[in-house]
Amino acid sequence: MKPRVLALALALATLTCCTSGFYHVQTAIRFRYPTLDIFGAAASQMTLDDINQLVELARPRPDILKPFDQIEVQRPDEAYIKSGRPENTGEKMTTFSAHKKGGRWFIVPGSVNTGEAIITS
């Protein structure tokens, strides 16, 4: 393998394994959703199918801003999602909770909230 190609492969492997903080997230998720931050005690248990289900749940809902920014997973069957990707204070963002039952994710009724983000440095 050429040195440049090897260096690029090593750099990609490093970025892929380190973008989720302290928790390992499947490589397939990193490639499909490179800007999504997944964290929490149960983050390593999230699968690509889990993320796809959550994204598909939100897709038809106009009250949920897209795209997803963060998914906090403290338990394998519960997720707290932030979406809308605000970059400045005052821009809109959405938060909601989801629960997994029988292998399927559901949005927790009454948990969807959209408001202004407060960005701190």
Residue type, 99: H
pLDDT at 101: 97
pLDDT in tens, 12-54: 444 444 444 444 678 899 999 999 999 999 999 999 999 999 9
Residue 42 near residue 56 (C-beta atoms within 8 A): no
Scan for tokens 């939100």, then name that residue.
58
How far apart are the C-alpha atoms of 71 and 47, rounded to whole Å?
12
Residue 34 near residue 53 (C-beta atoms within 8 A): no
Residue 106 scores a pLDDT above 80? yes
The torsion region of residue 103 among left (phi > 0), alpha (psi -120 to 50) and beta comes to left
Residue 6: band (very low, low, confident or very high) from pLDDT cuts 50, 70, 90: very low
**Nearest CA among 66, 74, 69, 62 for reference residue 100:** 74
Its pTM surpasses 0.75 = yes
Residue 73 scores a pLDDT above 70? yes
Scan for tokens 């009250």, then name that residue.
63
Residue 112, strand partner residues: none
